[in-house]
Amino acid sequence: MECYVCPHRCGVDRPADMHAEGIFGSCHCGIKPIVARAALHFWEEPCISGEKGSGTVFFSGCNLHCVFCQNYEISSLNKGKEITVQRLREIYFELIAQGANNINLVTPTHFTHAILESLKEPLPVPVVYNTSGFETLDTLRKLKGKVQIWLPDLKYSDDLAAIKYSNAPSYFRIATDAIKEMFKQVGPYKLDGNGIMQSGVIIRHLLMPGMVQNTKGVIDWVAKNFKPGEVMFSLMHQYVPCGRAADYPEINRRVTDEEYAEVEKYLFDSGIEDGFVQEDESACEDFIPKFDGTGV
């Protein structure tokens, strides 16, 4: 089956698993899902994690290969365990039994076929699709009704930066079109009586060193395209040089207090009312999960 699941549109016949012979596309993965960790996660946005935690399934591989990725060992090195669709669904219910507010699928795009099969029957909690934003409309439309909460990154408004750091041509157009489709599917966000999201869109953006204008471009787009009460915006201050960031001196440092203060003020002046900002304590490797096969 030729693969066109993401905007790279590799068109390769992905092997059944990572050990089989064949041609691997941009994600470097076969069809069979690879999972590095499945556990309750308490460091997502408060309306996702809450007090009970988010039932987070970390998939290995990625259709982007960001040079600064905090999850580099699983996104680029494919650390993890191959599992069946049946096992994937079992994991969902094990997390639900632990009290998870939702099932949070992290970096799921390249395993969409398996995920769709695993969600043929609905779950008793919302499904969160936690994505880079580099999505095709066709793939998103196949997920309609299966996903209740969309959690996309909007990494770049600067397409040159998207190419340089993530090998993602036309990222801004592709990701913004994807976010519009996500909102079209689920509409304005809805919270339960405990403040836990039941449906909606949260747009995430990570401020990177030396890229204040990139962030301002993202904020401008969100402010222009959504009214208060429609989506949430999450400005993240957790950048730590990881992966291959050392090969790019301009991003091989943390964000300065001055950079964050500038974009935070810009956000507060933008008209965006709903969302979150992180404190600078978030920029710490202690918040990166252990990809040790827990729960797999």
List the structure tokens of 130: 């936690």
Q: Map out the domains of the chain with their CATH numbers.
A: 34-287 (3.20.20.70)
Closest Cα partner for 272 from 211, 187, 203, 208?
A: 203
Q: What span, in angstroms and rounded, lies between the C-alpha atoms of 126 and 92?
A: 11
List the structure tokens of 106: 């992290």
- What is the value of pTM for the model shown? 0.93
Task: Kindly give the confidence (pLDDT) of every residue in the chain, 296 residues in length, as a single tens digit, with 9 standing for 90 and above.
Answer: 688 888 878 877 776 665 555 566 777 777 899 999 999 999 999 999 999 999 999 999 999 989 999 887 787 667 789 999 999 999 999 999 999 999 999 999 999 999 999 999 999 999 999 999 999 999 999 999 999 999 999 999 999 999 999 999 999 999 999 999 999 999 999 999 999 999 999 999 999 999 999 999 999 999 999 999 999 999 999 999 999 999 999 999 999 999 999 999 999 999 999 999 997 655 555 567 788 889 99
| DSSP-derived secondary structure letter, 228 | T
Q: What span, in angstroms and rounded, lies between the C-alpha atoms of 109 and 153?
A: 13
